[in-house]
Amino acid sequence: MTAVLVAVYLFAIVAANLSVSHFGPVALVFTGWVLIPLDLTVKDVLQERWTGNALMARMGALVLCGSALSALLSPSAGGIAAGSFAAFAVAGTGDAVALHWLRHKPALVRMNGSNAAGSILDSVVFQLVAFGSIDAGLCMTQAASKMLGGFVWSLALYKMVGGKK
């Protein structure tokens, strides 16, 4: 199951990066509702499976692989891949800290609480690095859509992994 989750994570981040590279900021609507919340939620499941000393290295490698694959598949996606890497590094850290703070809460509270932190950080950092500026309205819309999408994905993944605490 872990290998499938890694593959889903990488597919979603590469698809998100290539979509934004090809279609521009308008693709942020789709990526914000579907792909980024999926990545944030899968990351939470992987984080809970990969506890221990190698956790940070594994998460870092996962984020780096997603960005590198994006840049390799489409050299024109380099700026988007860089924005994605920076956003996921910052968002992943915020998400991981929130997930840790919520470790004694039920799984769905942990997933959605940490997704909220990651969604906000991802929305701000990605726009700043990939586009050189922040559109406040788009940023708020993105964060909200990522949280809602994350909620839907959390329900699906929670059910898929057997509703583990």
pLDDT digits (tens, 9 = 90+) for 49-92: 887 778 888 888 888 898 888 888 887 777 888 888 888 889 88
Model pLDDT, residue 105: 93
Three-state DSSP class for residue 103: coil
Tokens found for residue 34: 């579907």
pLDDT digits (tens, 9 = 90+) for 88-131: 889 888 888 898 899 899 989 998 999 899 899 988 998 898 88
Please state the pTM of the whole predicted model: 0.77
* DSSP state, residue 67: H
